[in-house]
Amino acid sequence: MPFDRMIKAAMLDASVYEELERDTSATTQAFMVVLLVSFISGLGAAIARLGNPSQAVFGLIGAVVAGVVGWIVWSYVTYFVGTKAFNGTATPGELLRTIGFAFTPNALGFFSFIPCLGWLVALAGSIWSLVAAVVAVRQALDFDTGKAVLTVIIGWVALLLVTVVLSLIGLGFFIVAP
């Protein structure tokens, strides 16, 4: 697991996002990051539901499925918006890799089981991940921060819609949403 890249991505190191953009072999690593972060966050939600084991297991599985689906949807929507609306230059793979690593701070969702404060820690991780996504998108699409912010917001709204749909069909006990 590429933990050094995860740490640099969480530290908003633009050079690691440039490196990921170029490294076509890192798509599998990005997938593993999303799986790991989704599992860790889902585990925190499952701990909160230990009183109902079936709900805990279903929530953990739902978190992993929703995290992966959300990553793919967000990456492709971001690719489309960034290249078509803002004339960025990237491939879908470049966005899958950079956004996948930008998910890293969502691991703080693990602490969601802590009464009163856990949700704040998880929220901080989500906000941090959004900021990381802005850096990732800026580097991958090769444009300025303003365009990156708009692109990330539009992609994030699409991700929220996916979250709602997954919740309605019973897979959204907890989703890793930056």
Q: Mapping DSSP to helix (H, G, I), strand (E, B) and coil, where does residue 115 land?
A: coil
pLDDT digits (tens, 9 = 90+) for 11-37: 999 999 999 999 999 999 999 999 999
Rg of the chain taking only CA atoms, in angstroms: 15
In the numeric block, the tokens 């990156």 are attached to 148
**Taking residues 137-162, what's their average pLDDT?**
91
In the numeric block, the tokens 């590429």 are attached to 2
pLDDT of 55: 85
Q: What is the mean pLDDT of the chain?
A: 90
C-alpha 49/C-alpha 23 separation (Å) is: 39
pLDDT of 158: 80
The predicted model scores a pTM of 0.89
pLDDT of 119: 93
Token pair of 39, please?
């599992």
pLDDT digits (tens, 9 = 90+) for 32-87: 999 999 999 999 989 988 888 888 898 899 889 889 988 998 999 999 999 999 99
Please state, for a pLDDT cut of 70, what percent of the chain lies above it.
93
Query: C-alpha angle with apex 44: 153 to 108, nearest 5 degrees?
Result: 45
